[in-house]
Structure formats: C-alpha cells, structure tokens
C-alpha cells in the first residue's frame, strides 16, 4: 500500500515511491537494475535543477503510472542523448 512518500510492502518494508522501478512495487525485489533505475531519476533531478519527480502526482498515481509504462518527461536542460540514457535506465 502507498502512504505518504513511501510504499510499504506486505512484508512491511518501505520504499521511496518516486525513485523505484515497477518490480519493487510488484515483487518487492531490489537488484542492481533497480539501482540503475534510481540513477536515471537522479539524472532527471539534476537536469531539472532539483525538481521533484512526478511532483503533481500522488504516490498511488505514480505506482500506477510507472507500472503501466509511463516515464518522466525530457528535461529542458537535457540533450536528446542524455534523455536517451535516462530512458535506458528505465527499461
């Protein structure tokens, strides 16, 4: 379930929703791939000069959106190449 700024799994573990890949929501599974996903979000934050990812969405909405394939938009300061790196992080 989603409460405040964290997702809590059925086992009670808490995760920062806006930095997590779908497999964390679906299976509570972390790996080096989930670290790469979070790095892509960090890159997005850098190129938006510190904006909050999915800032207009609730955490419940973010879980639904990310699970359905929605990704963060290309920041204005990021070149197409840099954004493609971000998108590769989110595969």
The total number of structural domains that make up the chain: 1
pLDDT, residue 23, reads: 84
- Identify the domain containing residue 16 by its residue range: 2-89
List the CATH number of the domain containing 26: 1.10.510.10
The whole-model pTM stands at: 0.82
Q: What is the pLDDT of residues 2-47, one digit of tens each?
A: 445 544 555 556 678 899 898 887 777 778 888 899 999 999 999 9
Helices marked H in the chain — which ranges? 22-27, 32-47, 59-67, 80-89
Q: What is the pLDDT of residues 39-82, one digit of tens each?
A: 999 999 999 999 999 999 998 999 999 999 999 999 999 999 99
Q: Does residue 1 register a pLDDT over 50? A: no
Count of beta carbons in the 10 Å neighbourhood of residue 21: 23
pLDDT, residue 58, reads: 92
């Amino acid at each position: 379930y989603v409460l405040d700024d964290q997702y809590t799994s059925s086992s009670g573990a808490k995760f920062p929703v806006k930095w997590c890949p779908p497999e964390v929501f679906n299976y509570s599974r972390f790996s080096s791939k989930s670290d790469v996903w979070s790095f892509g979000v960090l890159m997005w934050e850098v190129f938006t000069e510190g904006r909050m990812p999915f800032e207009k969405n609730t955490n419940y909405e973010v879980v639904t959106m990310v699970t359905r394939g929605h990704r963060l938009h290309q920041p204005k300061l990021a070149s197409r190449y840099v954004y493609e790196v971000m998108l590769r992080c989110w595969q």
